[in-house]
Structures are given as structure tokens and as C-alpha cells.
Amino acid sequence: MHEHELRAVVITGASSGNGRATALLLARRHVRVFAGIRRAEDGEALKAAGGDAIVPIEIDVTLPDTIAAAARFVQARTGEGGIDGLVNNAGIGLVAPVEYMAADVLRRQFDVNVFGQIAVTQAFLPLIRRARGRIVNIGSVGSHFAFPFGGLLCGSKGAFSLMNDAMRLELRPFGLHVCLIEPAAIATPAVDKTLGDPDAIVAALPPEGQARYGAAIREFVARAYAQEIHGSPAEVVAAAVQHALTAPRPRTRYAVGAGARLLTTLPRILPDRAFDQLRLRALGQPTAFGSEPADRPAGSRDLRARPRAAATGSR
């Protein structure tokens, strides 16, 4: 079996991190990369790094008009050849306790991580069919389990993981591969957007929410931030995407990054309560059931809350 030929690939969320690393890797292989960005200056920076193989396209996965315009743009430049791959990489991760998730925040998370990805896939599928191309979706090891204050990310990635599986089964008869990349800790600039300001996360809660969860959120953010900035480079995700796009028989799932295999295996082999203890200890959360008071007066001072120690490094 021969390696799947790559001539043209579309990547969403290519401005930084995993998307940027993937775009540059494919560009070095002389693949024409239609790199999805939201700001023109990001496209210019990416093109300067990747050369003429990079073709920036402005696309916001939550805005149908930009998706349709991007699909028309790519179609006009690929003609009957279509595209050999679509990499759904755009995504966000927000931190909040379920008890105080604002409806607009919850909706935003799923708009980007689930609904937007499906809309992009639907728009580009006609071009994928022409080339008998492939779809590579960027998920997360968090689709296998949840962690405290990460319900938004884990819930949306879990939903997208099941949508990925449905697409894989539905498109299989047509000879179209659908693969899921599941990164663990990856050192990218996204960590500063998600975990760089724990005080802002706590301040967004009402007074009673700050009192109940403030200290726990700060401890969670400190530990999660430290894990992420010491994670694997984005190039490991890019390499997995390249394999999924080109291998004669690609894997259905790629667990990549520091601790990825362990984190996708433990939820399958451990009882829930044992895995609960591991997660809570790893994230510095109370492990004893009922260890926190059932309620704390609204506006009361959380004496345990403390600023997070400054973390070193960058993502």
C-alpha cells in the first residue's frame, strides 16, 4: 500500500500551538496548506515562517459566513482536485465549577469545540470526497475522563470524540478515513490563555462561589499550569497528524504527549473511586468525602486562598 498523497490540506486554528506546528510541518513537505486564522497578522506571520506553501484563510468556526467563504475560497483554488485532508484543530479550554457555569460560557465552549467543528466538516466534505481525502480531528485525553473545574473542556471534547466516532463509521463505506488525535500535556501558548490568570477565574464567580471554590481553583490552576508548561512540544501532535493524513492504514486514535497513554488507560482499568483519588491528589484537591463545609456564608473570606506561585517557562 502506498502513502496517501498530500497536495492540499485545510487546518483550522493554525495561528499558534498545535495548528501552527502542523501547518509548518506539512509546508516543509511541499503540501499546500490552507491555514485557518482569525486575524490577518497571524496569517502573515505564519506565511513568513512557512513560505509560499502556506495560504492563510480567515475563518472563525463559530461564524457560518466565514466557514462558507473559506470553503468557496479553497474550492476556487483546488478545483476538481479537492483537498486531501481537513484538520479540525480550532478549540478552547475554559475553567469553571459546574455549579457556576454561566450559560453563555457553556455555550461558547461547545460552539467552538463541537458545533463549529461539525460545521467546518460539513462545509469541506464535498472537497474531501473529490480527493478521497481524510479528516483528522484534534481531541484530548480529557475526553476519557473529567477533572474538577475542567467539565467544560472534558465535556466538549467528550462530545466531539463521539461525533468523531460516528463520522468514522458513516464515512467508512466511502473510503474516507476519520482519525482522532488525543493530546495530553502539550506546551503551547494556549496554557497562558486558559490557566495564566487564576485570580480572574475566581473573580468571575459570585461571592459564594469564590468562597466555596476559590482555594481549590487556585491550587488546581497552579498544578495544571506546571504540568502543561512542562509538557511535550507541539511537534509531537504535528507528527501524529502527518501520520494520520499519510499512512496507508492510519490509526483511529493517536494518544500523544506526556502521560497520554497512561491517562487514556487508567480510566478503563481502575474503579471510579480509585481513579477519583488519583485525580484529586494529583490536582491538590480534598480527597476525603465531606471534608469541606456543606455551605459557607456568601461573602465570607476564604482564608485558605493564596496567590499562585509564579510558574517558570512559557507555552
At 152-176, the pLDDT tens digits run: 999 999 999 999 999 999 999 999 9
* 4 vs 160, higher pLDDT: 160
- Answer whether residue 304 shows pLDDT above 80: no
CA angle 58, 109, 312 (to 5 degrees): 85
Cβ pair 14, 37 in contact under 8 A: yes
Burial class (CB in 10 A: 0-12, 13-18, 19+), 264: middle
Domain borders along the chain are 8-194+233-275
Q: What average pLDDT does range 40-51 have in this prediction?
A: 95
Q: What is the pLDDT of residue 296?
A: 52
Question: What value does the mean pLDDT take over residues 30-52?
Answer: 96
Confidence of residue 307 (pLDDT cuts 50, 70, 90): very low
What percent of the chain is modeled with pLDDT above 90? 85
C-alpha cell at position 112: 467552538
**pLDDT for 299 beyond 60:** no
Residue 11 has pLDDT above 70, yes or no: yes
Alpha-carbon distances of 302 from 12, 41, 140, 148, 299, rounded to whole Å: 41, 43, 33, 19, 9
In the three-class reduction of DSSP (H, G, I as helix; E, B as strand; rest coil), residue 213 is classed as helix
Over residues 290-302, mean pLDDT: 60
DSSP structure class, residue 301: -
What pLDDT does residue 194 have? 83
Does residue 258 contact residue 185 with C-beta atoms inside 8 Å? yes
Each residue's pLDDT tens digit, 13-33: 999 999 999 999 999 999 999
Q: How far apart are CA 248 and CA 199, in angstroms?
A: 48
Give pLDDT, residue 312.
33
Look at domain 8-194+233-275 and name its CATH class.
alpha beta
- Give dist(CA 7, CA 29) in Å, integer: 10
Share of the chain above pLDDT 70, in %: 93
User: What average pLDDT score do residues 286-315 get?
Assistant: 54
Q: Nearest to residue 157, comparing CAs of 62, 89, 98, 257?
A: 89
**pLDDT score at 303:** 39
Residue 190: C-alpha distances to residues 91, 100, 212, 303 (Å): 10, 23, 27, 30
The pLDDT score that the predictor gives to residue 2 is 72
At residue 40, the pLDDT reads 93
**Is 315 a residue whose pLDDT tops 80?**
no
Task: Determine the angle formed by the axes of helices 272-282 and 260-269, rounding to 10 degrees.
Answer: 150
Compute the Cα dihedral for 307, 308, 312, 315 and give only its sign: negative
For the full predicted model, state whether its pTM sits above 0.95: no
- In this prediction, residue 191 carries a pLDDT of 85
Average confidence score pLDDT of the chain: 91
CA distance 294 to 151: 21
